[in-house]
Structure 1
Amino acid sequence: MKNIKIKVSHKLLAIYILVTAIPILLVGAYLNYSTREIVLKNVRNEVETSVDKMEMSLHNIFDRVTNTSDLIYLNEELKTILSTDYNEIIDIYNTYNQYTIFKEMIKHYDEIENIQFFMNKNMITDSYFIHADNVIRNNDWYKEAVSKRGKISWVYMEEQWTKRNYLALTRAVYGNTNELLGVLAIYIAPDSLQSVIEGESYNTFITLDKKLIIHHENRQYIGYEPSFQSILESSKEDSFLIDTVYNEEEVTLNIHEMVPDKSLDNTIQITTIIPTEEIMQEPNKVFQQGLVIISFVLIVSVLLIGIFIRSFSSRIQQLRQTMFQVAKGNFQIKTKVKGTDEISQVFEDLETTSKSVQKIIDEVYIHKIKEETWKRKQKEIDFKMLASQINPHFLYNTLEMIRMKALINKDPEVAKIIKILSKMMRSALERTDKPVSIKEEIQLIEHYLEIQKLRFGDQIEYRLNVEESVCSYRIYPLLIQPIVENAIIHGLEQKEEPGYIIVSMIEEDRQIVIEVKDNGIGMSKETLQEVNQKINDVDYQSNGNRIGLHNVQQRLRLLYGEEYYIHIESIQGLGTTMTINIPKNTM
């Protein structure tokens, strides 16, 4: 992928946008967001305080009604009235008129709309004492009160005579012998609930058990399930805020839940709907005005920075053209850059530099050529010295004489060994630092392995897996044989059981893969790391007279390039695999 070239003018504009324009916009957005959060926080705090007051007022109402129910529940006179058998109807009326507790409670407590007692006993009914017939007993509120056996329940029920619905406390009352006397119902006055939410700035609902609206300024909502019932039921907290949509507007619901005193199953929720969009109208208006001012400032600053960048870019372009001429070899600078700033100083430095470049370029070039020539000759000398260590001329003649004597003495095995060794010596004598046929290199490896086979007998087996197409290519000499020798010396000689070595050569798309594999003693991870470190160290000097892996590694990189090297894989106790890749070469 080509490097993308960006002009300095574009960079300056980008820096301005990143350092100035974007921060200004971000600060504006942050201030708007902060203002929004502050306004919402203040409104929420205000609502929270108001809801706390409403909750306290509701507690007072419920406590007053609960205390009233306690007085009636424990009243012995009521139990006497309901337990007595009357002979005349007039006696019942007189008893009702003498029992004034219900009237007094309603008179003194504004929170109480009415009190009714649904008698289990079949007596005459009046405004306060009502016989609980089968219809009444089948009502859910009646069954619930009886099932709770004297415990308080809060229900939304219909008043017996006016047929209006009220929030009411219901409670079963029992006689001294634990017989059911009836169910007490104390109705809360709607005006007392209205006084709780009166004067509130925001839409407020009072719900019972998260399921039923028991009071709201708009009476058409009372007695129905709230549209936000799912939110109420999903919450497990007593007090929380949640952002949602109500009547197609974004709002925040402030929900408080309270438990009336002595109530085991019922809860009351106060839900205030805060209209977020309505509250944010004024802050949004201020933000829009600020945005207009910021936009104007940015436009003016962009125009000014544009003028500066245009002038700056023109001078930079002139300097660049001059440097391009110098880069092409034209060191005669005739133009001048206007100004006295850093750009003009750079132009003067360029003029001074161009004069001195011409003077030293020849010296550097000639020195480089001499250095490369010296390195090449040094490598050739090293190679010839290595080859001479294992290939003295007189050794071939001596070996041939020994082979003839072995034949005369009728020792064919020794003669065979000498013959193979002689072929190796002859091949070595003919080697230069030029590439040779891979076929010749394979023959050299095979001669070497035959000698090792004669030496170790059944302890060593070998196999050459060479693709026929590989033999047509050429390779620099003495690259494979040292690897094979290393595998035998360090891998198989120290192995007690019989071992094998496999030499494979295959042709790939652009290179030849040569692999030498043995099942010798292998190496540990630490030893393998140490070997890799040594063979890759240019200054490392190996001990002994053999051409070791270090020399092969350095020759591979010298002859073929840095991307060609020995790759070693080894597992201790299982063996070692050494792989080299060389480019295809038919010359």
Structure 2
Amino acid sequence: MKIKRLGKKFSFNNLNIKQKMLALYFFAFILPLVTITIILTKWINKTIMERQFALAKTSLEQTSSLLTSILTNCEQLGDTLFSTRAVQKALEYQFNSEQEVYKYYTTLSFLPDFSRSNPDVLNFIYYTENQTIIENAYFTRVTDEIKGKSWYKAAVAASGRPIWVIKNSETLDSQTLALVRALFNRTTGTLTGVLALHLDNRKIEQLVNAHKDQTIVLVDGKVAFSSRPFAFKEKLSLSTGLNIGEFKSDNILWGKDRSLTMLYGLYHEYGNSITLAQIIPHKDLESATNFVVLLCVLLMAGGSILSLSLLQIFTRYMAKRVSYLQMQINRIVQNNFELGPRLSGSDEFAEIYDALMATSNNIKTLIDEVYRHKIQREQLLARQNDIRFKMLSNQINPHFLFNSLETIRMQAIEDDNKEVAKTIKLLAKILRHNLSVSNNPVSLKAEIEAVDNYLAIQHLRFADRVKYSIDIHTDISDAVILPLLIQPLVENSFSHGLQDRKIGGLIEISIDTCNNGSVFQISIKDNGCGITKEELAKLKARLATGTVENFSSSIGMVNVNQRIKLFYGQDYGLEIESEIEKGTLVTIKIPAEFNSDGGKNV
């Protein structure tokens, strides 16, 4: 429940415009940008690492190819020197004198040519067991010290197979890579000596030092050459014994740094191996990618800051326009319809302001109309009350009036004067009806009955001078109407239309509906003197303007028309037609309304 309330509190609809824009900026821009940057950075990092790995591998392969070529040339020279019969004879023959040795050396004048034929080989030496040989640049007698050397023992143990070893060069007094091979008497099989070919360190060191990362040449796991200072003769925890041309990479802990090691097999025969190794610390590999990552991060941060600044400016601009609209709305809420200056531009906010201005003007106009109608209605009610007082001066005590009329009626009956009694009865009904009405709609049927009573009295007064008829063409049993609309018009027809008629005066009242039964149409027609066109035009103008000039004797048509329009609306009211010497027709048009108790209410 608490989580639900918290979620509702931070609902998107509860955020203001600035917060919504920031949320949109984060989810639509920052989050995708960070995601893309992370993915792109990882991809770039992987691509650069793979490229660096490929470049390092290619460079190592080139170096391996050159070193392999050096080793192969040395092996070929070693095969030639190993199989030379003249040398083997010198190693096996027991010389009797130095002159004999020197004389035999003249037959070995080709040895310097072998040395010069391969520039990668610094020199070669035969270590011989023949103590009768005189030592020179190519022959050295074996001593007990030499026999104790590991390389010498390894050569003897190899039984004539060539092996690569790390040994000291007597000429350079330094450690070098040498190919050693034991020589045996072909007849007796006894050891006659060991051939050692020393490679030129400068060539190998030049190839190894050409790499910026530490590059090592390993012989049986021992370091022979290194591009950086290294503890020689120390056994390394690197995979050796790779076949010629075989490549292998691995991750190792080099000192304190996690490093990538690449191994390339240069030689592998009979357990003797030479391996080229290169060690690249991961921090060196990552240094190139770190720059790209930093550049991506800086670009992302710069773009984010720039876009955020623009968003802040845009949000401030939007919030200012929204705040201005909100201020104008608050003015209307406080019934202040005088709005501020229009918003500039033609965007949606300007359109909202225009709609708000139109709404404000409409409300102001509507309020003015309501006030005007209210004042008119109050004036009308005041006039009606005044008229009612003028018409019914005895309204102060209606019970006294009705009791008096009833006494007179009963006296007329006792005197057998039925006409007087009937007249008094009709008059009492009219007065009772008029005194009981209010400002609310009353039964149309009761209104017609009151008009009928009025005309009946007039007929009793004037006999054949005035006749009347009431024709009802629709069901009015439940119909309701604003009171005192018909009777004033009937009075007006009698007092003004028929005043000059000596005989044959006629008032016709007709009640019908129109517009599919939605409008009552009540007609009061007389055959009196009529109205001239000029007077008719003036009367219609008065009906249109709603001015009342004379209320001294009766409720005029203008008053009735004004009441109808105020109560039912401007679409309803009176229509008048008249011709001189033909009469006048007044038509009341009002909505057809029915008492809800009768089952219908329009």
TM-score tier after normalising by the smaller chain length:
0.3 to 0.5
Compute the TM-score of the two structures, normalised by the length of structure 2. 0.46
TM-score, normalised with respect to structure 1: 0.47
